[in-house]
Amino acid sequence: MLFENNNYDFDVLSLAGFNLNEPPKPYDYMNKSNEKLVNSKEGFLRGNMFKDLYSPYKNMTYKPLKPTTENEVLLYKIMEVEFAVNDLNLYLDLHPEDMSMYETFKMYVKECIRLKDEYAKKYGPLTLDQTNANTYEWMKNPWPWDKTGGSMYV
């Protein structure tokens, strides 16, 4: 039997092999934990995490993005890691038996959760489910995509 406790007092992430009670291990964005993959930054820029599935269009290349503020740097990291999660999710839909890739996927999911929590604590929630504050801050401006010099209304 999968669950020993009949009261069903478990969380969904523990079912997927996550242990959020452990402190997160520092994650090296340049680490190539799976030989088939490029790192999350490279994958995000080119739109593909897989080394052998990318060929530039007519020898063109992507232009690296350059975040300028601490807020933008953290948001950019979140976008990188979230892209990796989505791309690996698509792969695992077709290859669910690839346990090495699944372990890499879980690592990116855990890092994504950590980065979003860090962002929410510093700058406010990115999604409705991030309710770390003592007050309802979802409508608080500016939003991450708002320019800081313009209107404060969405």
d(CA 142, CA 154): 8
Q: Who has greater pLDDT, 92 or 56?
A: 92
Looking at residue 143, what is its pLDDT? 63
Quick check: 27 pLDDT over 50? no
113-124 average pLDDT score: 90
In terms of DSSP H, where are the helices of the chain? 12-15, 40-46, 70-94, 99-123
Is residue 93 within 8 Å of residue 85, measured between CB atoms?
no
Q: What are phi and psi of 50, to 5 degrees?
A: -100, 130
The residues spanned by each domain of the chain are: 35-51+69-148
Looking at residue 141, what is its pLDDT? 63
Is residue 80 within 8 Å of residue 128, measured between CB atoms?
no
The token duo for 20 is 């959020």
Q: What Cα–Cα distance (Å) separates residue 148 from each residue in 69, 72, 141, 153, 154? A: 11, 12, 10, 11, 12
Per-residue burial over 74-90, b if 16 or more Cβ lie within 10 Å, else e, is bbebbbbbbbbbebbee
Residue whose tokens read 């350059």? 66
What digits encode the pLDDT tens for the residues 3-23? 444 444 545 455 455 555 565
Q: What are phi and psi of 153, to 5 degrees?
A: -105, 140
